[in-house]
Amino acid sequence: MRALPAIAATQMIVFVTVAGSVRPGYDPARNWVSQLSLGPGGGWATANMICCGLLLMLGGRAGRRHPGPGGGAGPRLVAWCGFCLVVLAVLPTDPGIGYPPYVAPAHTTIGFAHQVVAVVLAVSGVAAAAVAGCDAGLARAGLIVAAIMAVSFTAATVLVLLDDAGVLPGNPSGLLERVALFLGLAWIGALGLRTRRPSDPEAADSTDRCRSRATLAAGSARSDPRDPR
């Protein structure tokens, strides 16, 4: 069961890479992952997101049976990220920044809800990467991964807002989103396959300190949810 996050990561990375490269009118560097649910083949993209989310939820639940020194906070965050992915699949994003082709941009209530959940997922993913790294005894690596994710997602959000406003059209916001998403999934998946070290008081203290840093890293990923994704 602990291999489920690795399966989820592989599935998401492979599907998004292949689908994004063959979808007519879709620019993997510019357009966001959730936009694959729009246009031809959108049903497959929705199913991919739901399946990935369910795998993360199951993997997080399995991880709670063998918690690290953090007492299971990492697996709970992983499961929460999976839940957010399922919600994102249920709440479709709005068309915008050039996709689907020849479809006017829209800003709907459901689309806004999708954007809010996307920000929640980003913040939770940053925290999950850091805390899971602490639980696995790889605190420094986890914080580095979390920092890269936070910077990438924040930059992607700023760029997509500029693209949507017509200030900087065609910028690589989608590429930066993929950096954050793929890196986070790959990290969580790799940790799921790794044998955890036995818990001890010193490791628990280290995890508490790491959690505080993770909170700061996650805070930097919070941004205005009013982007077109």
Residue 140: count other Cβ atoms within 10 Å of its Cβ: 10
* Predicted local confidence at residue 101, as pLDDT: 95
Amino acid present at 152:
S
Report pLDDT digits (tens) over 11-49: 999 999 999 999 999 999 999 999 999 999 999 999 999
Q: What percent of the chain has pLDDT over 90?
A: 74
| pLDDT tens by residue, 63-84 | 776 655 455 788 999 999 999 9
Residue 211 has pLDDT above 90, yes or no: no
Instruction: Dump pLDDT digits (tens) for 82-114.
Output: 999 999 999 999 999 999 999 999 999 999 999
- What residues does each domain of the chain span? 4-220
Task: State the DSSP string of the chain.
Answer: -TTHHHHHHHHHHHHHHHHHHHSTT--TTTS-GGGGGSSTTHHHHHHHHHHHHHHHHHHHHHHTTS--TT-SHHHHHHHHHHHHHHHHHHSPPPPBTTBSTT------HHHHHHHHHHHHHHHHHHHHHHHHHHHTT-HHHHHHHHHHHHHHHHHHHHHHHHHHTTSSTT-SHHHHHHHHHHHHHHHHHHHHHSPPPPP-HHHHHHHHHHHHHHHHHHHHT-----S--
3-state secondary structure 162-214: HHHCCCCCCCCHHHHHHHHHHHHHHHHHHHHHCCCCCCCHHHHHHHHHHHHHH
pLDDT confidence of 149, banded at 50, 70, 90? very high
